[in-house]
Chains A and B, each alone.
Chain A
Amino acid sequence: MLLNYFKIAFRNLLKSKGFSVINITGLSIGMASAILIILWINHEVQYDQFHEKKDRIYEAWNRSTFSNKLQSWNTTPKILAKAMQQDLPEVEKTARVNWQDNYLLTVGEKSVAIDGNVVDSTFLDVFSFPLSKGNVATALQDPHSMVITEKLARNLFGDENPMGKIVKLNNSENFTVTGVAKDLPDNSRFKFEFLIPWAYQRTIGNDDENWGNNSTRTYVLLKQNASFDAAQQKMKGMRKKYDPSEPEGEMFLYPISRWRLYSSFENGVESGGLIEFVRIFCSIAFFILLIACINFMNLSTARSEKRAKEVGIRKVVGAQKGNLIAQFLGESVLIALIAGLLSLMIVQLSLPAFNNLTRKHLIVDYSSMSFWLAFLSFVILTGVIAGSYPAFYLSSFRPTSVLKGTFRKIRALVTPRKVLVVVQFSFAIILIMSTIVVRKQLKHAQDRQTGYEKDNLGYHFLTGDLEKNYLLVKQELLASGIASSVSKTSAPLTEGWSDSWGFEWAGKAPGDKTDFDRFCVDESLAKTAGLQLVKGRDFDLQQFPTDSLAILLNESAAKAMGFKDPIGQLIRDNGKEWHVVGVFRDFILHSPFYPTRPMVVEGAKGWFNVIHMKLNGNNGMAANLKNMEQIFKKYNPAYPFDFKFVDEEYANKFEDEKRIATLSGLFAALTIFISCLGLFGLATYMTSTRVKEIGVRKVLGASVGSITSLLSKDFIKLVAVSFVIAAPIAWYAMSKWLDDYPYRTALEWWLFAIAGLLALMIALVTVSFQAIKAAIANPVHSLRSE
């Protein structure tokens, strides 16, 4: 029986090649899109879920009120871990992890700058990063021990056994390799290539017990069967107990298993996060697949006349409805299987591009049984969704009517088919509209004035000896004509590294907790960055040596501090008194999608990490870089030269939005393509059933144009209806999306009109191709047969 079904299915596929091609192409593209999205979702859902003790691992978080808003953050004092071990009997182990940092590792002649973490020795015990060499319990005991990944081991030592070898850190201290960790999975929050023990921090005096210094992340492993609620209750009061400066602050434990998908906090409570994206993409995957399935439904039912006779005969020779439903479902599952195998090829081919787009390393594990099981159920599900409606539709034909030949010819689109086409096009139009809005928003933010001159502006971190030799480097850069202005700063111009609500000034309202961005520069910031000064002057240490204690405000800060005349005002910060010498126009430090924040720029008595310079554009970039490298190598030979351009770094701020724009554009194009495939098939069939009518009309004098419009108008009407349905949905969705951006573009009606017109045009081209073909055919041929 099954064999018979498959035989029929195959012969039908071969007999109507055009429809098979449309069906299989559409389905395989739809399935490939869905598989890619599912791969991504699976990757996100599995994020950090590989830790064996994940159900008992928690991260310590803070909650407190700033600027009238309850805020949550996950940096903690270093001493917290010890306090938790004392106060919380539920705790089995704690593991602190310092911010991942870039270090210079040297082995013999070879130096690499690479990311690593400083962690408690318990780290490898709490988290599951198995060692291929070395002992988890003892690897990080010695202050000068080091665990490296297999990748780094190959990089540093080639094929030699790295155990016991010496690695020089930051050109100063020697560490012994005591463990080799398997390479990290891509979907983990930890991205280190090596680990060094917390004990080392202590030896360099970086292990303060200050409750005000929230600079590390603290993880805890609760005991088996310990009560989380009890631990949470005790955790809440930790801040109050130990940190008198923060009586309102609370602490809480947050399960790491929820960290990836849910950790967006609003008003101190979890409020979604990545899970929303996962949900959106889930529905996109579902809809693209549905649209491909709809093609199958529409074409199968439209061609039902061809199958009707078979249904009738089978019923006459004894088939029951159930037999026929099984047969048709079997056919659609077979088609889904062919499409599915094809889609795997598409996935394989497009995965590198998709990975590039999503910045992931997704792979398909063809050797895993569970993959093939999932694939098979996916195929069956698709086949059943696509085949269900046609199966019930076809199997319900009554043999007496189909065999007598009184079976109604399909001349027009019947209602369920109309609905399905409308569903397809509504979704396609929503995606087109979204793409247009996302692109407009992106353009809007890209066009925003940054407030500084990005051209020829670049920076280098003050690695190794650069800080020590800064003045020499600066002098040489200026003297050689590479740069026209050089400043050292606390952070890159594109990143806010420091902020504080602790500034004091005359007239500050009691309880004012306005948060200011804090930046430091030695001198001539306005000149180097091209800032616009609205009052006062730039720092100039030559002319005004007291400028080392001077301060610049941006306009927002001057306003927030309520100064009528800011110049000469005194501001206290970090136990120093700074005097205001100038006010500059706000520039974008953080996100171009947010309003600028109040910002203070402190003088040479601040702290410094970065050297910024305005390059001389007349020299040519290649020459500048080459000469610059020589100077940097001269004063900082151990460290690699790694110069960054501000305009490139600034462009990175648009990564996420660019990705959304590309993805929505891609899915919109795919949806439109699949929908049009279906429309093309329907139009082909519809015109083929009207050949005689067209012939008669032509003989009676109808023009090609009038016949084309006759044949096209039904479809065009459907696209118009889809537009009416799609527009409000897209409008609502996009205004929700834009709500997340304080600096946002306006939604305008013409954006939607463009999307509608675009969909209409595409549909028209698709349909009219067939219509025109039918209309210009010579009626003699179509009428001859009768």
Chain B
Amino acid sequence: MIALQHISKWVTNGGLRTFLLKDINLQIEEGEFVSIMGPSGSGKSTLLNVIGMLDDADEGEYNFLGQSIHTMKEKQRSQLYKAHIGFVFQAYHLIDELTVYENIETPLLYQDTKSAERKAMVGDMLDRFNIVGKKDLFPNQLSGGQQQLVGIARSLIASPKLLLADEPTGNLNSKQGEEIMDLFKQLNEEDGVTIIQVTHSEKNAAYGNRIINLLDGRIEHPR
């Protein structure tokens, strides 16, 4: 599903190149649940952003579902991205001015889904996450765990094949964190969603079926 070949990314500072990612080669198949680990500044989030097409690599090739992303135009890439990728953040990143319902609905707006269809899809999602009663609340009226549930619901609304999560439990207490991770596992196993998560926690990483360790922008291969 995802194939990265010789991916590098750098910033140039005073004529010196600092590598954020260096020569990454990575293959991820559909249905995998991958955890990316590594110390701060090792390039975990950068890698996730490149996979999620939020960032460009400076070098290398990236194939997603058999299409080469690095040669694609912005517009095509955006289409591909909208249809197949969902994002979950550590800080939830809900739109403060929108209600729970509207937040979950937003991705559908950008896919030109019909109004009636949207209603049904958001309704399903609210049901599934047991947050029907909260649909008219604003994000600041929810607890962190509830906000993250909404964040996940939003990322799943368009039925993506790939879910990218950047420390999804980082701001949550351990009980809430466990619930989220259980949910991820369930999504992966029952719905077949491919999941890539960035995490600091060995425990959370263990939910996945593969761990990738990053250090200074390189993948550390188990010795």
B-binding residues in A (CB < 8 A): 1, 4, 7-8, 11-12, 15, 309-310, 312-320, 323, 398-400, 403-405
- The answer to whether A12 touches B110, judged by C-beta atoms less than 8 angstroms apart, is no
- The answer to whether A403 touches B89, judged by C-beta atoms less than 8 angstroms apart, is yes
A-binding residues in B (CB < 8 A): 45, 49, 54-55, 75, 78, 81-82, 87, 89, 91, 93-98, 102, 105-107, 109-111, 154-155, 158
A312 to B106, CA, bound (A): 13
- B154 to chain A: which residues have CB within 8 Å? 317
A399 → chain B closest CB, angstroms: 6
- The answer to whether A316 touches B102, judged by C-beta atoms less than 8 angstroms apart, is no
A8-B98, A316-B93 as given contacts; A400 in contact with B107, CB under 8 Å: no
- B97 to chain A: which residues have CB within 8 Å? 7-8, 11-12, 15, 310
- The answer to whether B106 touches A317, judged by C-beta atoms less than 8 angstroms apart, is yes
- The answer to whether B55 touches A400, judged by C-beta atoms less than 8 angstroms apart, is yes
A196 to B78, CA, bound (A): 79
- B158 to chain A: which residues have CB within 8 Å? 318
Nearest B residue (CB) for A11: B97
A318-B81, A403-B93 as given contacts; A4 in contact with B109, CB under 8 Å: yes
Nearest A residue (CB) for B154: A317
Nearest A residue (CB) for B155: A317
- The answer to whether B110 touches A317, judged by C-beta atoms less than 8 angstroms apart, is yes
- B75 to chain A: which residues have CB within 8 Å? 320
Contact of A318 (CB < 8 Å), options: B82, B94, B105? B82
A309 to B93, CA, bound (A): 8
A1-B109, A7-B102, A320-B78 as given contacts; A314 in contact with B95, CB under 8 Å: yes
- A314 to chain B: which residues have CB within 8 Å? 95, 106, 110
A661 to B49, CA, bound (A): 62
A320-B78, A400-B55 as given contacts; A7 in contact with B110, CB under 8 Å: no
- B98 to chain A: which residues have CB within 8 Å? 4, 7-8, 11
- The answer to whether B87 touches A4, judged by C-beta atoms less than 8 angstroms apart, is no
A11 to B54, CA, bound (A): 28
A196 to B111, CA, bound (A): 75
- A403 to chain B: which residues have CB within 8 Å? 89, 91, 93
A309 to B109, CA, bound (A): 18
A63 → chain B closest CB, angstroms: 66
- The answer to whether B102 touches A320, judged by C-beta atoms less than 8 angstroms apart, is no
- The answer to whether A318 touches B95, judged by C-beta atoms less than 8 angstroms apart, is no
A7-B102, A310-B97 as given contacts; A320 in contact with B110, CB under 8 Å: yes
A323-B110, A400-B49 as given contacts; A312 in contact with B93, CB under 8 Å: yes
A-B contact pairs, 25 of them (CB 8 A): A4-B105, A4-B106, A4-B109, A7-B97, A8-B97, A8-B98, A11-B98, A12-B97, A309-B95, A309-B96, A310-B96, A310-B97, A313-B95, A315-B54, A317-B87, A317-B106, A317-B107, A317-B154, A317-B155, A318-B107, A319-B110, A323-B110, A399-B54, A400-B49, A403-B93
- A398 to chain B: which residues have CB within 8 Å? 54
- The answer to whether A316 touches B109, judged by C-beta atoms less than 8 angstroms apart, is no
Apart from A8-B98, A318-B110, A398-B54: 8 A-B pairs, beta carbons within 8 A: A7-B102, A317-B107, A317-B155, A318-B78, A318-B82, A320-B110, A323-B110, A403-B93
A8-B98, A400-B55, A404-B45 as given contacts; A313 in contact with B111, CB under 8 Å: no
A317-B110, A319-B110, A400-B54 as given contacts; A4 in contact with B82, CB under 8 Å: no
A543 to B155, CA, bound (A): 112
B40 → chain A closest CB, angstroms: 13
A316 to B89, CA, bound (A): 10
A184 to B82, CA, bound (A): 65
- A8 to chain B: which residues have CB within 8 Å? 95, 97-98
- The answer to whether A313 touches B102, judged by C-beta atoms less than 8 angstroms apart, is no
A525 to B89, CA, bound (A): 96
Nearest B residue (CB) for A320: B78
Nearest A residue (CB) for B55: A400
Interface centre among A8, A11, A316, A323 (most CB of B within 10 A): A316
A12 to B75, CA, bound (A): 29
B150 → chain A closest CB, angstroms: 12
Contact of A310 (CB < 8 Å), options: B45, B95, B155? B95
- A312 to chain B: which residues have CB within 8 Å? 93
| Interchain residue pairs A-B with the least CB separation, the first 6 | A318-B82, A318-B110, A317-B107, A11-B97, A1-B109, A313-B93
- B105 to chain A: which residues have CB within 8 Å? 4
A314 to B54, CA, bound (A): 12
- The answer to whether B93 touches A318, judged by C-beta atoms less than 8 angstroms apart, is no
B113 → chain A closest CB, angstroms: 10
Nearest A residue (CB) for B52: A316
A309-B93, A310-B97, A403-B93 as given contacts; A316 in contact with B110, CB under 8 Å: no
- The answer to whether A313 touches B54, judged by C-beta atoms less than 8 angstroms apart, is no
A107 to B89, CA, bound (A): 91
A123 to B102, CA, bound (A): 69
A317 to B89, CA, bound (A): 12
A49 to B91, CA, bound (A): 66
A735 → chain B closest CB, angstroms: 53
Interface centre among A312, A400, A405 (most CB of B within 10 A): A400
- A400 to chain B: which residues have CB within 8 Å? 49, 54-55
A309 to B96, CA, bound (A): 9
A8 to B138, CA, bound (A): 12
Nearest B residue (CB) for A312: B93
A309 to B110, CA, bound (A): 17
Contact of B87 (CB < 8 Å), options: A316, A319, A323? A316
Interface centre among A314, A315, A403 (most CB of B within 10 A): A403
A15 to B55, CA, bound (A): 32
Nearest A residue (CB) for B157: A317
A713 to B138, CA, bound (A): 40
A315 to B55, CA, bound (A): 12
- A404 to chain B: which residues have CB within 8 Å? 45
A139 to B97, CA, bound (A): 72
A693 → chain B closest CB, angstroms: 25
- The answer to whether B94 touches A313, judged by C-beta atoms less than 8 angstroms apart, is yes
Nearest A residue (CB) for B54: A400
A403 to B93, CA, bound (A): 8
- B110 to chain A: which residues have CB within 8 Å? 314, 317-320, 323
- A4 to chain B: which residues have CB within 8 Å? 98, 102, 105-106, 109
- B54 to chain A: which residues have CB within 8 Å? 315-316, 398-400
A125 to B75, CA, bound (A): 66
Nearest A residue (CB) for B158: A318
Nearest A residue (CB) for B104: A317
A318 to B111, CA, bound (A): 8
A315 to B89, CA, bound (A): 14
Nearest B residue (CB) for A1: B109
A236 to B19, CA, bound (A): 86
A329 → chain B closest CB, angstroms: 16
- A7 to chain B: which residues have CB within 8 Å? 97-98, 102
A532 → chain B closest CB, angstroms: 79
- B78 to chain A: which residues have CB within 8 Å? 318, 320
A12 to B87, CA, bound (A): 25
A599 → chain B closest CB, angstroms: 76
Interface centre among A8, A315, A317 (most CB of B within 10 A): A317
A671 to B97, CA, bound (A): 34
Nearest B residue (CB) for A402: B93
Nearest B residue (CB) for A10: B97
A396 → chain B closest CB, angstroms: 13
B125 → chain A closest CB, angstroms: 14
- B111 to chain A: which residues have CB within 8 Å? 318
- B95 to chain A: which residues have CB within 8 Å? 8, 309-310, 313-314
Nearest A residue (CB) for B89: A403
A312 to B52, CA, bound (A): 14
